[in-house]
Amino acid sequence: MRYPDPFLAAHGYGAAERQPLAADASFRRYVRLRGGPRPALLMDAPPPEDVRPFAALARHFGAAGLSLPEIIAEDPEAGFLLIEDFGDATHAALLDAGADPVPLYVEAAEALAALHAAPVPPGLPAWDAAAMARATAATFLDWWWPAALGAPAGEAVRAELDAAIGAMLAPFAGLRGFVHRDYFPANLMRLETREGPRRTGILDFQDGALGHPAYDLASLVEDARRDVAPAARRAALAAYLAARPGLDRTAFLGALAACGAQRHLRVAALWVRLDRRDGKPHYLRHGPRCWALLARALSQPACAPLRDVLDRHVPEAMRRNPER
């Protein structure tokens, strides 16, 4: 963790108490600052991270009336931000403490609907079928495949996977908007003093892109890191669709299955990369859940192209964490 003392001092936090917070799977680190002009977090995002997308999106959606952390000060060249501190009440922490999941998932879905209904920021990268296929290959074929099958994936398999993801997502290409890409309870905060969609603080949005909104709802109700109670899933889906009555429900649910299948395959293999490349084997505990979620998604008609490719090359018995 780096401490930019001149930067902190210039904004009134030179003498603030510093409390490092738990790290996540990225290279970013956070420190809580107490004793400055207002509660704040220091974000330290050294290369290859870039704080500019975070700052730009925070300002854009904050102006649209959503609860994203206010940017207090920034040094983008050095990779530092001072941001508003939303506290400790993440939805994940509340769920772990035994909170009723239904109200939390409804609040999260309502905030997500507002996020998707807001004006789309300019300059977003694409999260289309081509980008999703590349991301899937980068974990499933580059890491899971050789670990599980003992040899690299050939070009023919790569072409088949690319074509399958393209075919699976093609029917839903007409609906595009901002997607958070990691919208799940650890990145959501309960803000008790705020109302409506602003009651949910939204974090970790710097990788937002232009894609299908069903991807974010899949991230929420088919969480890679925790089991979601069926009642909470149903309530979140109902709340989201009620908040966006113009959506075609049947098409949206098909997109939810397709986006979920791509995400579950990519993330199930991501845990293998975090283990083998980054020395973080604890993420492998989420593998069985992701493979189970993938199996459920593949049972839907919208996912037939991906199901057919996996059935040809990866028997169901092999759809799990690789053996050491």
76 and 99 co-located in one domain: no
In this structure, is residue 323 part of a structural domain? Answer: no
Among residues 28, 56, 84, the one where a domain terminates is 84
Give whole-number Cα distances, 295 to 124, 256, 258, 290, in Å.
31, 14, 12, 9
The residues facing 127 across adjacent strands are: 211
Q: CA-to-CA distance for 86 and 84, rounded, in angstroms?
A: 6
In this structure, is residue 185 part of a structural domain? Answer: yes
40 and 186 co-located in one domain: no
Compute CA 160 distance to the chain's CA centroid, rounded to the nearest angstrom. 26
pTM confidence score:
0.95
In this structure, is residue 324 part of a structural domain? Answer: no
- Which residues does 56 contact at the CB level (< 8 Å), separation at least 6? 121
Q: CA-to-CA distance for 187 and 115, rounded, in angstroms?
A: 14
35 and 117 co-located in one domain: no
Among residues 17, 50, 84, the one where a domain terminates is 84
**In the chain, what is the straight-line distance between the N-terminal and C-terminal CA atoms, in Å?**
32
Q: The domain that contains 221 carries what CATH number? A: 3.90.1200.10
- Considering its fold, how many domains does the chain have in total? 2
Q: What is the DSSP letter of 191?
A: -
Q: Can you give the pLDDT of all 324 residues of the chain as single tens digits?
A: 888 999 999 999 999 999 999 866 567 899 999 999 999 999 999 888 899 999 999 999 999 999 999 999 999 999 999 999 999 999 999 999 999 999 999 999 999 999 999 999 999 999 999 999 999 999 999 999 999 999 999 999 999 999 999 999 999 999 999 999 999 999 999 999 999 999 999 999 999 999 999 999 999 999 999 999 999 999 999 999 999 999 999 999 999 999 999 999 999 999 999 999 999 999 999 999 999 999 999 999 999 999 999 999 999 999 999 998
Q: What is the CA radius of gyration of the chain?
A: 20
Give whole-number Cα distances, 201 to 51, 86, 169, 238, 321, in Å.
19, 7, 30, 21, 33
In this structure, is residue 104 part of a structural domain? Answer: yes
The domain in which residue 32 lies consists of: 5-84
